[in-house]
Every structure is written in structure tokens, then in C-alpha cells.
Amino acid sequence: MKKKFAVKPKVSYLTLFLVIALLGAACGGDDGASPDATTTSTAPTATTSPPAATTTISLTQDSTTTTPPAASPAARFVLFSISLGDLSQVIVQNIGDGSGSLAGYWLCQRPAYYEFPDVELQPGDLAAVAVTGRDDIFGPPSFAIAIEGVAAIGRLDPAGGEVGLYLGRDFGNPDAIVSYVEWGSSGHGRSGTAVGAQIWPDGGFVVTSEETGAISATVLPPTDPEHWSDGS
């Protein structure tokens, strides 16, 4: 009796490859994307921090305490002595801390005026000028610088008169008068200017007589009749 054997069908390698290929095609849509779908690529939105607020910085220079330079020593001229009568003369003194010239300063016995020449005075120095009109008989004291010429402001009468010392020619201006004295009586031509400058009291005068030869300051600057003496 013959045995029957089952015949296994022969599957070629080509057939097997085609089967696998078809199965792969059938499963190709697993990623869920349609081949015809349009894909829009959206760029990630950048997170931008707002610009920092502009800050204005005030640069202030450090406050520094600066000591101002000391003022230069200045000259200060005042009337020092008035000789009366026929041998009249005026002596001025520099009571300031520095030297200075008398140029630009004027003597006044209204209505007459005299301008000083360029004479330099150191602190404490005195200068004398004749007023009588005769410098040949002028006898200044040895401690004073003798100024040549004559200050023709009229005779300085012992009975009464005045002398004002000015810086500049604005004789009616209280800011221009720097020293003043009147004697015998008050209310002379420039008395009001001196009172306005607060260098002489209203109604004040140095008491003199016909025999008074000179009046001299005892207090510097002399701004009151009590600051003057007739030497008696």
C-alpha cells in the first residue's frame, strides 16, 4: 500500500516579497497625516521683555566748600590835620592795610576844589599839602610827605570852614566823599553830603576860635567833632 504525502505548496521568494510590500502599503497611514494636507509651520512666538524704563540720572557736582581768596590789602585815606589861618595846610593819612596813590582824590572847600597828584602812601604814611597859595612858606611836619604845589581851596579861616576829601569829582554824591570835617559852625557847603554818607553828624562842628592854629584827629577815622582836638 502506497503512503500519501502532503505536498507543501512552494512559495517563491518573489511572491513573499510582494506580500510584505502590500502589507506595508496598507499600514502606511499610521502617522495620521494626510499626504495631501497642507502643513503650516508656525514659528514659535518669542517672548520679548518690554524695554526697561528710561531712567534720567542727574549728575550733580559734589558740593565743595571753597574759601574765597583773601581780599588784597587796600589803602584808606582820611583827613588827619587841618592847619588854620595864613599858613593853612591839610594833612591826610593812609589808615588802610595796603599802599595806595592819592591820584584821583580831591580836596573840597566849596566852591573850590583841588586834585591830588600821584603820591604813593604806605600804610600809616601821611602827606601834607599847602593851602595858603604860597608854597615857599610851606612848612610841613617832618613826619609827613610834602606834596609840591598848592591846594587852592581858599584860606582855612579859624572862625569857621570845612574840608572834604573825595574819591572822584562827584562832589554832591555821598558815595564819593570819604572824610570830612567842619569847624566854627555847621551847615557848610558839603556838610549835607557828609551827613548823607554817615561820616559826619547833622549839626556837628569842631569848636574853634580866632586863636585856633590847627585841629587834629584823635580818633581814626574821624567821623565826629569829638574825634578832633585843637591841641589845647
Q: Which is it for the CA torsion 37, 40, 44, 50, positive or negative?
A: negative
Q: What is the pLDDT of residues 26-67, one digit of tens each?
A: 444 444 444 343 333 344 444 444 545 444 444 444 444 556
**What is the mean predicted confidence (pLDDT) over 187-204?**
98
Nearest to 78 by CA among 93, 91, 62, 57: 93
Residue 46 lies in a domain: no
How many domains, the chain?
1
> Average pLDDT, stretch 13-20?
47
Tell me if 160 is assigned to some domain. Answer: yes
Residue 85 lies in a domain: yes
Residue 167, in any domain of the structure: yes
- 171 in a structural domain: yes
Asked if the structure places residue 106 within a domain, the reply is yes
Give the separation between CA 122 and CA 95, rounded to whole angstroms.
9
Is the pTM above the cut of 0.75? no
Residue 27 lies in a domain: no
Q: Is residue 111 part of a domain?
A: yes
Domain CATH code at residue 215: 2.60.40.1260
Containing structural domain, residue 135: 77-225
